[in-house]
Amino acid sequence: MKQNVARLAAVAGRIAVLGAVTSVLALVAVQFAGILARNVAIAHEIASTKDDIVALRERTRRQELTIRRLSDAHGAIPEIHDMLRLVGPHEEIIYVRGLAQPTAQPDEEWNGAR
Tens-binned pLDDT, residue by residue, of the chain (114 aa):
778 888 899 999 999 999 999 999 999 999 999 999 999 999 999 999 999 999 999 999 999 998 998 888 887 877 777 777 777 778 777 777 777 776 766 665 665 554
In a domain, 68, yes or no: yes
The pLDDT value given to residue 97: 78
Q: How many domains does the chain have?
A: 1
In a domain, 27, yes or no: yes
Pairwise CA distance, residues 114 & 107, whole Å: 10
The pLDDT value given to residue 83: 78
Pairwise CA distance, residues 109 & 95, whole Å: 35
In a domain, 102, yes or no: no
Q: Which domain holds residue 72?
A: 2-94
End-to-end CA distance of the chain, in Å?
115
In a domain, 28, yes or no: yes
In a domain, 9, yes or no: yes
The pLDDT value given to residue 96: 76
Global pTM value: 0.50
